[in-house]
Structure formats: C-alpha cells, structure tokens
Amino acid sequence: MTTVTSALTTHALTRQFGGLVAVADVSLTIDRGEIHGLIGPNGAGKTTLLNLLSGTIPPTKGDIFLFGQRITGRPPHEIARQGLLRTFQIPRFFGQLSVRDNLLVAGYALNPGWSHRRRVERAEALIHLTTLERVASLPAKQLSGGQQALLQIATCLMSERAQVYLLDEPFAGVNPLIKDIIMRLIREENRARGVTFVIVSHEMAVIRQLTHRVTVMGGGRIIAQGTLDEIARNDLVIRSYLGSSVKELV
C-alpha cells in the first residue's frame, strides 16, 4: 500500500471542528527527497493538514504514514523523534531563552546520543549558516520577524536524523536577503541529505523556484496536483486561487 519511495502518505485524512470540515478526505503522497509545495487560498486547510501530519492535532479519520510506518494519532514529540519536524506560521519558540538555548533544547531532545560538545558545535554551525551570530545570545523574543523565521528553521535543522520538514509560510513577512538564506538552506539540505520538504507558501515565485511538485488545496480538499506549470493551466485553480495574473508568472 505504501511504497518505499514515499516519505509521507495520507489516506482519506479528515479533520472536523464541530460542523466545519477543515480537511476532507485528503489522500496525498510526498516522495522521498521531494520539495513539495502546498498552496491554496486562506482557509483552504493547509495549516490544519500540517497540524495533522505533525501530530499537533489528531485526525477525525484517515491515516498518516511516515516512510511506511503508521503515525496516525501519535504525539508530536514521537513524530518529531521519528524524523518529521515542522515550523509554524506564527513562529513558536522560547522567547525568554537565548537563540543558542533555543537550538540546544531541540539538540538535546532530537539527538539524545550526542555529547554536549557536539550539540553546541551543531548549534554554532547553524547560527553561522543562518547569520544569527550577532543575536545568538539575545532572548529570542527580541529577534525580528525574519530572524524568527530563520531561528525556527535552524531549530529543525538541529536534528541530523530528521528526513521530513514541514514549513508553514517560511517566507511570510521576510526580507529578500533572509528569503535567499532560507531558500539556500532548503536546497542544501535537500541536495546533501535528500531531505523531503513540504512548504506552505503564497509566494508563487519562490514556489516555482524551489518545488518539484505542488498540491493545491481548496475547501479542505485537494483540487489539483502537479508541477506549477501544470496546475497553472488548471481552470479550477486559476478561478479559486491563482487568478488570471498567474499567466505572467509561469
């Protein structure tokens, strides 16, 4: 049922909040080593889908498989340790801890076998990669929005074992310089370690540059799948999300 080449698979995944069906019958396969875009209008169910995949909320019905192993209903920390990490649209971090300590928390939890020194070295390397050196000792709540986005991604990268990253709007409100750094990090992790990414974003230019395939959601359902060029020719997608100006983009 679940092929070995798939990193993440869902079968008829559904989540209801009272009478509202936020995610309806979503069956999705993300290939190993793929950078996958998840797009759609606001309220389409993209963030709810990421919440389901990461275990932040349980599904009403349906199943989730990570590299063929069923993870449906498992708590978020177990899913994280199994290799699926995520960022949040509204950054979630530890505001009163320093940037360095934020990284070390994840370093300890995700790499229990590592020595303290190795964790510190990894944290320092990521601080350098994300150009957060100047703010590394500051409480994280003092960072700018773009720096907070970088910190979230750096926190995920503290794990060397993680194979799937779900990034929720990593480019929202981020200046072009930081956007470039985030794109570079995604490409490098994907190329060097074959890491799979699912990226939710409204930035079609970035989605076009980064992703191999795109899934479009609307009303909690998948309305189209394919390369950005393919979905940009889909009338339903143009009507419900992209608008006619997409033709200038693709």
Please work out, in degrees rounded to the nearest 5, the angle formed at the alpha carbon of residue 237 by the alpha carbons of 234 and 238: 85
Q: Please enumerate in sequence order all residues whose Cβ is within 8 A of that of 144, keeping only pairs 6 or more positions apart, or say none.
A: none
Rounded to a whole number of angstroms, the minimum distance from the CB of residue 206 to other proteins is 23
Q: How far is the CB of 166 from other proteins (least distance, A)?
A: 10
Residue window 66-105: x/- pattern of binding to other proteins, with contact defined by CB under 8 A: ---------xxx--xx---xx-x---xxxxxx---xx-xx
Examine residue 106 and tell whether it contacts other proteins (CB under 8 A).
Answer: yes
User: Counting contacts by CB under 8 A, is residue 114 touching other proteins?
Assistant: no
Q: CB of residue 208 vs other proteins: minimum separation in angstroms?
A: 28
Residue 141 class from Cβ within 10 Å (0-12 exposed, 13-18 middle, 19+ buried)? Answer: exposed
- Could you tell me how far CA 235 lies from the centroid of its own chain? 27
Report in angstroms how near the CB of residue 165 gets to other proteins at its nearest.
11
Applying CB under 8 A, which of residues 66, 99, 110, 126 lies at the interface with other proteins? 110
- Indicate the residue among 11 and 86 with the shorter CB distance to other proteins: 86
Residue 159 binds other proteins (CB under 8 A):
yes
Specify whether the CB–CB gap between 145 and 174 falls below 8 A.
yes
Provide the token pair at 217: 């959601």
User: Residue 36 or residue 81: which is nearer to other proteins going by CB?
Assistant: 81
Q: Which residue, 102 or 196, has its beta carbon nearer to other proteins?
A: 102
Closest CA to 207 of 29, 27, 84, 40: 40
Contact between 125 and other proteins per CB under 8 A = no
Q: Least distance from C-beta 171 to other proteins, angstroms?
A: 20
Q: How far is CA 118 from CA 126, 137, 245, in A?
A: 12, 19, 49
Please identify which residue in 56, 89, 225, 234 interacts with other proteins, judged by CB under 8 A: 56
Looking at beta carbons only, is 84 or 216 nearer to other proteins? 84
CB of residue 81 to other proteins, shortest distance in Å? 5
Rounded to 10 degrees, what is the CA torsion of 190, 196, 199, 205? 40
Q: Is 137 in the site for other proteins (CB under 8 A)?
A: no
What is the contact surface with other proteins in residues (CB under 8 A)?
Answer: 54, 56-58, 75-77, 80-81, 85-86, 88, 92-97, 101-102, 104-106, 108-110, 155, 159
